[in-house]
Structure 1
């Protein structure tokens, strides 16, 4: 029941934010302002519903760790995509054809904030965390990563490979980042930094969505395994390898810090329901 309440609360805010952007006409000011507002409201809604359903402080989104965790995530997420697109460009799969739009990039920042915050609250803050309590880290990691990848099958230009790529480089990596820190700020920052670098800086598709022009007018070409094709660089083997490497680092940290949760016995799980 608490799982449904938490998912419903955060998803409701995300839906309302998307509808508000659509009703406002999708201009860059509306996208920026409403995107940031959606992220902030989703965080407040998450804090409220966790307190209400679990009777505890939502320490995973405590403001005390927000600056460091969010800042590190933004830096690492952006740097990761810079490395990925740089490797793709060196292999001939990406080129810059000119300057894009500063206002377009500002609007895409709002989109990145809204999607980064709401998706992390839903998938890592609610689903991963609650399932982990019952089934342990590894089961929760596999299930939520697969679900996160499958969710992208409804995106434009989606494919089974694209869903698998998203499951590994985002679903596994972001859950591993949460497991290592037990804070949602790092995965939120990673998600925002990665998405904004794709669209807002380098002007590429994000999970199949042909977004507005960012700072650069970028074009991908060549084999799908290299460029990601119409789905965007996230379907590139380069991106999958980068995400898998980062996930391995985070999981190692989680293990070293004793933050890998074992699966609970059936008797204990039943006794505490």
Structure 2
């Protein structure tokens, strides 16, 4: 007989805290080499994979699941691929609208090596943050609160942590909570796969800072490391200001549409969990 998982109220803080520590350590390590050509890319890819192994180990220890279905290897490439297309497509659509209203300007070319190193960094960031906020916080909360409350709570916490960034703002944090928290939570509810949300997160951030040279979540990263050197001008409501396009009303609207579609898909597939409904194993 299979062992029962540890209580959700114990698993939640333990997994959240340990994965958060792993994420912080991973990002600290990659930050030491993210400006070294190619090394940043290689180290970032390796560190991200190690954080995935930490998640698998925690799931085996606390939930007695040898292979997490949400990280099924068979879904890795297709899930990441779909997520990358979604993330890149939504960011390009967001930036296109901002540019249409005169808010985005290309100043010149940056660095191909900078873009490649940004890929390593963004892979590490996407893996770490999605495992913390969707793999642990959202997934375990959903067992007790249901899908909708899990999306709301995990989204607000996810947005809230971005306030501490150098150019973090409450408006930017709320925007991320709505656009990214809602979208990734809804996407996970519909697919029950972490690969898609990791791919989305990585591609959005890579396009934002590594390709188009805009600030990423108020971190200040962007023009110095991207493939393009660029600037945004105009109302913060349009451009997101120093926080970056994520704080733009355009991003909220652009990401809000697929979030609603993912929720409808989750409902059609019978994957919305009510508060009293047990989560299928």
1:73 is the counterpart of 2:83: yes
Aligned length: 267
Structure 2 unmatched runs, 5+: 1-9
2:191 equivalent among 181, 190, 199: 181
Q: Write the distance in 2 (CA, Å) between the matches of 1:25 and 1:130.
A: 33
C-alpha separation in 2, matches of 1:244 and 1:25: 32
The one of 245, 249, 256 aligned to 2:261: 249
- C-alpha deviation, 1:7, in angstroms: 2.2
Deviation string 1:137-159 (CA, Å, 9 cap, x unpaired) is 01111111111111111112222
Q: 2:228 aligns with which of 194, 201, 216?
A: 216
Partner of 2:125: 115
How far, CA to CA, are the matches of 2:33 and 2:126 in structure 1? 21
Match of 1:169 in 2: 179
Q: CA contact under 8 A between 1:224 and 1:236: conserved in structure 2?
A: yes
Contact residue 168 and residue 219 of structure 2 kept, 8 A: no
Question: 160, 163, 187: which one pairs with 2:170?
Answer: 160
Match of 1:4 among 6, 10, 13: 13
Distance 1:48 1:183 in 2: 17
Q: Which residue in 1 is equivalent to 2:115?
A: 105
* Aligned-partner Cα distance in 2 for 1:216–1:181: 34
**Matched-pair contact (CA < 8 Å) for 2:83–2:199:** yes
Report the counterpart of residue 234 of structure 1 in structure 2: 246
CA RMSD of aligned residues (A): 1.7
**When the two structures are superposed, what TM-score results if normalisation uses the length of structure 2?**
0.91
Q: Which residue of 2 aligns with 1:271?
A: none
Does residue 16 of the first structure (1) align with residue 25 of the second (2)? yes
- Counterpart CA distance in 2 for 1:260 and 1:169 is 19
State which drifts further: 24-33 or 114-123. 24-33
1:9–1:46 CA contact under 8 A, matched in 2: no
Q: Deviations over 1:195-253 (max 9, x none)?
A: 00001110000011222321111110001011111111111110010111111011010
* SS of match in other structure, 1:226: helix
Residue 38 of structure 2: SS of its match in structure 1? helix
* Aligned-residue offset at 1:31: 2.3
Higher helix share: 1
Q: Secondary structure at 1:117's aligned position in 2?
A: helix
